[in-house]
Amino acid sequence: MDTSVTGHPALLDAFLGVAAELLDGVDAALDTLDDSTVNGSPVPGTVNSPFALVAHIHGMAQFWGGAFAAGEDLPPRDRDAEFEATGTVDEAHHLTAELRDRLPGWATVAVTDGIRNRSAKGTSRKDAAFVTPEWVLDHMLREMSQHLGHLEVCRDILLAGRQ
């Protein structure tokens, strides 16, 4: 059992606060799009659509938080399918809402119990067997912030093309 973060509620509070801010940013970006632009790409075949970026954020967090840290028995992650996903703005909001509901439980497990399932499938990282709970939480925030930035740039380019 990893115990390096046990008893550190400040870490949990900080993680959840930053994650909420990032998901607020994702939802705000989605609110500027319609069902056509959410699936658009400024450079088709090269740049991911806003929906695909949200699907990737969801898949990443579900893997690292749910399957890996919390040890939940979730369907295997299909990272490639995340980047090809399409859907509506409402469906994208549903993905962020699910993360808002699930992240507190997953992060609590990481903080109190450590990593429950290092053998979870869904990453190409060679160091997954050795990462700490802190690393998992930081990694999820890094990925969410990186892809929120991608989403905002993609949205800006797509909307500029409509003017």
Considering the domain boundaries, does residue 1 fall inside one? no
Q: Is the dihedral of CA 113, 74, 144, 93 positive or negative?
A: negative
* Residue 83 pLDDT > 90: yes
Predicted local confidence at residue 7, as pLDDT: 56
pLDDT tier, 4 (very low <50, low <70, confident <90, very high otherwise): very low
Residue 114 is part of a domain; what is its CATH number?
Answer: 1.20.120
CA 71, CA 93: separation in Å to the nearest integer? 25
Considering the domain boundaries, does residue 51 fall inside one? yes
- Inter-residue contact 41 to 154 (CB < 8 Å): yes
Number of domains in the chain: 1
pLDDT tier, 1 (very low <50, low <70, confident <90, very high otherwise): very low
Q: Give CA separation, 118 vs 1, 7, 22, in Å.
A: 11, 22, 26
Predicted local confidence at residue 10, as pLDDT: 87
Considering the domain boundaries, does residue 4 fall inside one? no
Closest CA to 64 of 9, 26, 19: 19
Tokens describing residue 15: 């993680």
CA 35, CA 116: separation in Å to the nearest integer? 38
pLDDT tier, 5 (very low <50, low <70, confident <90, very high otherwise): very low
Predicted local confidence at residue 6, as pLDDT: 52
Considering the domain boundaries, does residue 54 fall inside one? yes
pLDDT in tens, 17-36: 999 999 999 999 999 999 99
Range of the domain at 47: 9-160
Predicted local confidence at residue 66, as pLDDT: 98
Task: Region of 43 please: left (phi>0), alpha (psi -120 to 50) or beta.
Answer: beta
Instruction: Return the SS3 of 157.
Output: helix
Closest CA to 39 of 146, 154, 120: 154
**Verdict on whether the full-model pTM lies above 0.75:** yes
Considering the domain boundaries, does residue 125 fall inside one? yes
